[in-house]
Amino acid sequence: DGGITQSPKYLFRKEGQNVTLSCEQNLNHDAMYWYRQDPGQGLRLIYYSQIVNDFQKGDIAEGYSVSREKKESFPLTVTSAQKNPTAFYLCASSTTPAGGTTDTQYFGPGTRLTVL
Amino acid sequence: KQEVTQIPAALSVPEGENLVLNCSFTDSAIYNLQWFRQDPGKGLTSLLLIQSSQREQTSGRLNASLDKSSGRSTLYIAASQPGDSATYLCAVKGGTYKYIFGTGTRLKVLA
């Protein structure tokens, strides 16, 4: 059953804590992405990775970090430097790393992070 | 800088109506445009992808069109059903690895 899994579904963070959100895909996709979604706003790109051991900052990377040690996995760490982390976080992957016209983004079910 | 706008932000229609959702973008230099559906608290599900060289794509009761020169795309839903109730988002892909998303149209189909 191919797809993208994210865990946990709900996550609570205390002030000053770092937390890590998991994203795993078995679609054999090269490119993976992390987005943040806030009410009334479109998705905003945090980080993306075109290939293992390489990743690029998106529009709102401050306070976040990622790693890409395996093709299947792209975990996101929300650090204490992120001052307003309460949001819905979505992981995605796509088929073509180069700027193709046919690549479709596939999304995981999301993780809702709340700061206590 | 590419901006994507979706109007209206919310829409309620009676069951059985045909409806059109709109998406506009400011930079016509796109690789493709994708329409997604999002149910409350869930991830996004891809509905249709239109490549920059295409004018429209169809899947079942859904038809999406693309007019790059005017920076517009429409998603047409025929014979709407209560199960179509969701938020619909469009996203354009420019010359990088990034998709730029609109804020979505929240659709409610009344039984």
A100–chain B nearest CA distance, Å: 7
CA distance B78 to B96: 34
CA distance B25 to B106: 19
Using pLDDT thresholds of 50, 70 and 90, give the confidence band for residue A99: low
CA distance B20 to A50: 35
Averages of pLDDT over each 10 residues, chain B, 111 residues: 93 96 95 95 94 94 96 97 97 82 96 94
Q: What sign has the CA pseudo-torsion A79, A85, A86, A91?
A: negative
| Residue A98 clears pLDDT 60, i.e. is over it | no
**DSSP secondary structure code for residue A73 in this structure:** B
Chain A contact set for B102 (CB, 8 A): 42
DSSP A60-72: T-TTEEE--SBTT
The contact set of A with B (CB < 8 A) is 4, 6, 31, 33, 35, 40-43, 45, 48, 50, 56, 58, 88, 90, 92, 97, 99-110, 112
* CB of A92 closer than 8 Å to CB of A106: yes
Chain B contact set for A40 (CB, 8 A): 103
A111–chain B nearest CA distance, Å: 9
Question: Quick one: closest CA in A to B34, which residue?
Answer: A104
B99 touching A, CB under 8 A? yes
Question: Quick one: closest CA in B to A43, which residue?
Answer: B101
3 state DSSP class of B83? helix
Q: Which residues contact A79 (CB under 8 A, 6 or more apart)?
A: A18, A63, A64, A65
Question: Which has more pLDDT, A53 or A116?
Answer: A53
**Structure confidence by residue, pLDDT tens digits, A9-68:** 999 988 889 999 999 999 999 899 999 999 878 899 999 998 899 999 999 999 999 999
Q: Which residues contact A39 (CB under 8 A, 6 or more apart)?
A: none
Cα dihedral B87, A113, A92, B33, rounded to 10, equals 30
3 state DSSP class of B84? helix
* Burial (0-12, 13-18, 19+ Cβ within 10 Å), B10: exposed
Question: Which has more pLDDT, A101 or A64?
Answer: A64
